[in-house]
Amino acid sequence: MDDTCLQHRLTDDERIQFDEEGFLVVKDALPQSMANDLAKASDRIAVEYREKLAIKDGHPLNLLDVIGKDDGFLPLLDWPKTFMKVVDVLGWHIQLYHSHLIVTPPLPADYEPTSARLGWHQDSGRLNIDLEGEPRPRISLKVGFFFSDVSSPERGNFHVIPGSHRSNRLTLPDDDTIDHPDAIPVVVDPGDAVFFDRRLWHAAGRNRSEVTRKVLFLGYSYRWLKPRDDMTVDRYMADADPIRRQLLGASPNGGFGFTSPADEDVPLKTWLVDRLGADGVVR
């Protein structure tokens, strides 16, 4: 893993924002050339899978298990400007449990929504039913890498309700022609990354622009959570370093070391201790 990631740890201000608002934006996480290349890769994948999945023109593509569908996506897994921020939030006992690409084309000019409200939700489905507590535990977070320009609203922007990760329920106005009063669009440039707590109430906006929105989300969780996706990543394992193998689901001792994983199961921990010392490692 690239040691330069240690230059991009979570700052005090970022931690406060993430804890209080449930999300944060990392500007210029990717160089523009890389964002452009990944936008082109997203276009190729969108053409292929729209046909395979019979998705109609003008409808969004939300493709799961995408990390293995283009080699250009793999470096994002432990990208220096984002990965240590993930570690500083969740610690070293982590994996990639979910990856999905969303490509949102412009809506037809005559589109009329059936409701003014967006599709507000928290991630992780059944976790929000099966687990008790108020709020329920974080368990995972996502990093969204944006490959298209959503620096203006109405481009299918990622929308959030800041601070809503502290509540298991979302109270909406009685008037269903009005959306949540605290909802905001997250406006970002190509190459920016957005972190968010899985419990944050969020939604995709409507794309009334002429720009197709392209964003790749990587979901990181603790290793004891079953992956959300199929994780068809075997072809990467032989050439991956030990930390990437951990993130992609390798477990040399079998199982996931619920109580006390061995060092070879979690090489990320050893890597951190070697560079930061035992006192500098999160959990």
* Angle formed at CA 108 by CA 107 and CA 111, multiple of 5 degrees: 85
Counting as low any pLDDT under 70, the low residues of the chain are 255-259, 282-283
Count, residues in the chain: 283
Which residue bears the tokens 């392209």? Answer: 214
Top CATH class, 3-226:
mainly beta
Q: What pTM does this model have?
A: 0.95
The pLDDT of residue 81: 98
* Residues contacting 125, CB < 8 A, separation 6+: none
The pLDDT of residue 176: 85
Strand-pair category, 193-197 with 184-185: unpaired
DSSP string, 26-92: ETT-S-HHHHHHHHHHHHHHHHHHHHHHTPPTTSPEEEES-TTS-GGGGGGGG-TTTHHHHHHHH-S
Bond prior to 135 in cis (omega within 30° of 0) = yes
| Domains of the chain by residue range | 3-226
The pLDDT of residue 115: 80
Query: Hey, what amino acid is at 216?
Result: L
The pLDDT of residue 49: 95
Average pLDDT, whole number, for the chain? 94
